[in-house]
Structure 1
Amino acid sequence: MRILIIHDRPDVGAELQRIANEAAGAGSKVDLVQDVWSARDRLKAGFHDLVAIDLTLPIKAGNANVSLANTQLLLEEIFEGEEVKAPSDVIGISKDPEVLDVLRTSIGQHLMGCLHEDAEGTWREAFKAKVSYVMRARTARRLVTNSSHDVDLILLTALYKEAKPYADIFELSPSDDLDGAKDFSFTDAFGRMRRGLLYSIGQAGQPPCASVTQVLLTQFRPKLIVLTGFCGGVAKRTAIGDLVAFRSASAWDYGKWEEVDGPNGTETEFRPRPMPLNCPGNGISKTIRRMTEGGYNPTPHTLAAVTKQSEGRIANWKVHERGAGSGSAVVTSLKTLSQITDRDEEIWAIDMESYAFYYACLNTPVLTPDFICLKSVADHCNGEKNSNYHAVCSTISARFAHEVVTHHYNFGV
């Protein structure tokens, strides 16, 4: 908890600081300044949970001109300006009852309360009680943040073109909460209206995906977050267009370089050590397993859209719940692919984001969401990689995600 005391009389300021430290407890930071100028600098520099302000202040310390007018300028900037960071609560303090009466008729309605520095000293207990209340309220807000969801669903893609199919699936509108995000609503399998958010990172790779995922989780605390788009696949296990629900994500480019004997002598070779992160066994993973038991058939509408978009090259596809190898580089070599898959037969797909995505979801500082990565196979990592199937594979994954969240997944109450 961070508190700022603004008082020009050193003895009273020190007493307020002592009381605030005692009431807020260990780990809190209580600063003391004596004038409007210094207070403004502190308020511009950082956020405060509580500000206790003397109602008659000088512009600068040592200036004999102390007045309510000076304080009102600061209060107006706090409540109505844009340069300072508005604190959660503000308490006014004065030894002059007339000042308190004047303030109540102007900007005083914004204050948490006004304390009269009475001769008996009852203001000390009153101030301590208000600090304790702010502390309890702050703790309650943090508990709510860490134990409740804000949005029902976040749909995330690495590239903008992977998010494009959602424009034909949901009615999207710019979000007021995050630049570049799109809000949408949908009806779930039980007929309940749900709130969703679509966001595209704009670039591939582990670092941007981890960073953006953590921001989204912290700011919106979704019940479910789904990463969709296209990926590479293992030819003997997948066909072009097949959708892979990533049961796990392994960091295939994590490992070490070793010296090995080769035909031309000693060679240095990279030995990957996949580190799998598993998707939760219940929730979305269980839902997809239930959907695909005995085979999966896309809806006629989706089948027609995909057939048309692929010009007949993809007329049907399967859904596999398998593992993925995730790394920071594009894989276009069958030798590299075999090094990845030979160490884990569960790896059926190759992508550049899922490991970072799963790591962020499993290690978020707020409420852990349900999560999964759904990607459609656009190539087989064999050097013939091109963008011919990117659009249609993005469509396959987006439409499958839509089917899951609107017809099968249980978001709960």
Structure 2
Amino acid sequence: MIKILVVEDTASKAGKVAKLLDSITGCSYEIASDLVTARKFLQDHFNIMILDLHLPERFSEVAIESKGFDFVLEIRKTRRLKMPDHILGLTEHTEVHLKYKSIFDENLINLVQYDPGSISWESKIRTKIEELQQSSIGLPSVNTQRYDIAFVNALRSPELDAVLELDYQWQKKKIPNDSANYFEGKIELPSYGTLNVVATHLPQMGMVATATSTMKIIEHFRPKFVIMTGICGGVEGKVNLGDVVISDMSFDLESGKIVVDPEGKQGFEPDYRVIPINSSLKEAFIDLATDDKILARIKSNWKGNKISGELNLHVGPVGSGAAVISNKDYIENKIKHQRKLIAIDMESYAISYCCEYCTKPQPIPILIKSVSDYANPDKGDNMQKYCATMSAWTADYIIRNILTFD
């Protein structure tokens, strides 16, 4: 089904366009009579926008010649409006058509001359719709929507489940030719309007699976931020069980060279390639870590098994490895090479790496975990649901109060 948005303030012209679209099978349409209404419709994605050039900001106001093209530029600049796949300019005024034809051509936008006594304009619109319908047959769907946030979680339960419990109006979303499970939602913010959110989980644990899933969600949804929440192993003595950890730099624990000394003893020389967090966000997260009232408020909503102690937040290095760690000596050895290390997991470095080296526009990674164990043989599952929930709730606070989306 081809979705079409008609932005037209003249009732007779809008009626003729609607009559044309009614005669074409396989398409649906909405009509906006002013730019305020058009912006509301463009919270969702449309395949085609048929756009008048003379438009009013509000229906009761005077239409201005430049408003149509200005609206195209506005859509391209802001993430809050979804750019349609194709735009067709439609003007009845010959002088306006001549004035803007070259400008529209330079921006790869078709400008059609509307004449109520001719069917030429109808033929051009019909041809464009039919071409789009034909081109979509048998081809994978490319999602041209720009999302604000993408959650990538290692485990469906309890990590993704904790994210899906956030009040984001979640719905399942399928991408053709992709077996991954996606969920899309919306967040209403008074200062920004509607944020578009998507979430997924890995097919299995590990950095290879993380990189694959992260690259797919970036290419499908083009988010501004990629957020990973969930559980991690903490460095005992630096963090407490249940504490939230935000990575200010991530690295691969296994990056380096295996060496043998003259006595034949095998050793490891690390060569860590560190990826730091956005510096402005780091300062904001450090400020949040000192706000005991906010952290207490986040924890106060927990209704599960009683967890003693306060909720603390730490900002520091997180190392990622290829296996689940349950060896205290392993952690102590890594601390020798990265003394500020506060936590380990199997995913964070892959998230950061994908965000840094994917195609533009590159999203900003935010890695928020909660300590469910100390990466030693005493691992247990009794903290996992609580930790997954605390990391998700902390992410929700950050989205609503720290991140910017213009």
TM-score (norm: length of structure 1): 0.60
Quote the residue 1:223 is aligned against.
224
SS of 1:373's equivalent? strand
Quote the residue 1:318 is aligned against.
312
- Structure 1 residue runs of 5 or longer lacking an equivalent are 1-103, 113-144
Q: CA deviation at 1:360?
A: 0.3
Q: CA deviation at 1:215?
A: 1.2
Distance (Å, rounded) in 1 between the aligned partners of 2:273 and 2:314: 21
Quote the residue 2:339 is aligned against.
345
Q: CA deviation at 1:213?
A: 0.7
Deviation readout 1:55-90 (Å, 9 max, x if unpaired): xxxxxxxxxxxxxxxxxxxxxxxxxxxxxxxxxxxx
Deviation readout 1:257-311 (Å, 9 max, x if unpaired): 22247xxx632233333321111212x43432332345564253x42343x42x2
Distance (Å, rounded) in 1 between the aligned partners of 2:293 and 2:405: 22
Q: CA deviation at 1:173?
A: 0.6
Check conservation: 2:206, 2:322, Cα contact below 8 A: yes
SS of 1:347's equivalent? coil
SS of 1:320's equivalent? strand
Quote the residue 1:173 is aligned against.
171
State the percentage of identical aligned residues: 22
- Structure 2 residue runs of 5 or longer lacking an equivalent are 1-122, 132-143
Deviation readout 1:79-110 (Å, 9 max, x if unpaired): xxxxxxxxxxxxxxxxxxxxxxxxx8xx9676
Quote the residue 2:28 is aligned against.
none
Q: How does 1:238-257 map to 2 (within 5 A)?
A: 238-257=239-258
The structure with the largest alpha-carbon Rg is: 1
Check conservation: 1:189, 1:410, Cα contact below 8 A: no
Distance (Å, rounded) in 1 between the aligned partners of 2:207 and 2:199: 19
Q: How does 1:1-400 map to 2 (within 5 A)?
A: 150-161=146-157, 162-170=159-167, 171-177=169-175, 179-188=180-189, 190=191, 192-260=193-261, 266-282=264-280, 284-293=281-290, 295=292, 297-298=294-295, 300=297, 302-306=298-302, 308-309=303-304, 311-400=305-394
Check conservation: 2:153, 2:160, Cα contact below 8 A: yes
Q: Quick one: structure 1 residues 172 and 108, their matched pair in 2 at CA, closer, same or farther if it must change by over 3 Å?
A: closer
Distance (Å, rounded) in 1 between the aligned partners of 2:352 and 2:127: 49
Q: Quick one: structure 1 residues 153 and 352, their matched pair in 2 at CA, closer, same or farther if it must change by over 3 Å?
A: same
Q: CA RMSD in A?
A: 2.7
Distance (Å, rounded) in 2 between the aligned partners of 1:376 and 1:109: 51
Check conservation: 1:231, 1:349, Cα contact below 8 A: yes
Task: Supply the AA of the counterpart residue of 1:323.
Answer: P
SS of 2:250's equivalent? strand
Q: CA deviation at 1:315?
A: 3.8
SS of 2:339's equivalent? coil
Q: CA deviation at 1:333?
A: 1.1
Distance (Å, rounded) in 2 between the aligned partners of 1:200 and 1:109: 38
Task: Supply the AA of the counterpart residue of 2:282.
Answer: S
Q: Quick one: structure 1 residues 189 and 228, their matched pair in 2 at CA, closer, same or farther if it must change by over 3 Å?
A: farther
Q: For this pair of structures, how many residues does the alignment match?
A: 268
Check conservation: 1:323, 1:349, Cα contact below 8 A: yes
SS of 1:391's equivalent? helix
Check conservation: 2:296, 2:311, Cα contact below 8 A: no
